[in-house]
Structure 1
């Protein structure tokens, strides 16, 4: 799905991961506004990748338990950027906040994802 809707990772820091996504025919709803599901896809992608980067991939993996999103402002064109920051990094769960902004740095969506950290057998 990441490739299909044009999500591109742009920066990885010590406590964040950033990615962009176009607002185009792949990511808009019938009114030509950014689809809320596309925003949630960007948020879940960022949270999942960020969580996975905090564990030893030979010993553990992360899967989503719950995600929510508040859609604050619409976007009609251009690029949106998401940035994920950790709120909690535990042994068995993680919570990440993802803020999505437009090219003017206006908040489009704020999301929170809870990840389960699972031991490989």
Structure 2
């Protein structure tokens, strides 16, 4: 993927987030290639659980957002709608401040279903959560 294509892809991904949960959580797409998409989310009081660390639900929302966006970007979005079918997450490390990065990598790219691995890491590239997401491409009617 050349630089111009990458920038256009990231611009498109960020544009579809306006007035959505992704905008509320301040999720932005920051890197892409032929087989992955990366999003960033700030960790602050808006996404904390009561004891002051990143809420697991916010991590899962980040993961589903980047995985679904990756499906949307890398499939025929003009003719198909992308929906999440199943998501599972293992949270292995807490974080109080800074940014987390979610990298969605394709494990299976079927015509109907796609399987994504999403690694959520901190700014030091330490694993925070490991997520598996299955998406489905449904024909638009």
Q: TM-score range by the shorter chain?
A: over 0.9
Displacement over 6 Å in runs of 4+: none
TM-score of the superposition, structure 2-length normalised? 0.83
Q: In structure 1, the residue corresponding to 2:47 is in which secondary structure?
A: coil
What is the CA-CA distance between 1:24 and the residue it aligns to? 0.4
What is the CA-CA distance between 1:6 and the residue it aligns to? 1.0
Residue of structure 2 equivalent to 1:78: 98
Runs of at least 5 residues in structure 1 that lack an aligned partner in the other structure: none
What is the CA-CA distance between 1:71 and the residue it aligns to? 0.1
Measured in 1, the distance between the counterparts of 2:131 and 2:44 equals: 21
1:43 aligned onto 2:63: yes
What is the CA-CA distance between 1:58 and the residue it aligns to? 2.1
- Greater fraction of residues in helix: 2
Output the aligned Cα RMSD.
0.8
Measured in 2, the distance between the counterparts of 1:119 and 1:20 equals: 30
Q: In structure 2, the residue corresponding to 1:44 is in which secondary structure?
A: helix
Query: Which one scores higher on RCO, CA 8 angstroms, separation ≥ 6?
Result: 1
1:114 aligned onto 2:134: yes
1:28 aligned onto 2:58: no
Measured in 2, the distance between the counterparts of 1:5 and 1:79 equals: 12
Equivalent residue for 2:31, pick from 8, 11, 31: 11
CA displacement, residues 14-72 of structure 1 (integer Å, 9 cap, x when unaligned): 11100111110111100000000000011000000001112222211210000010001
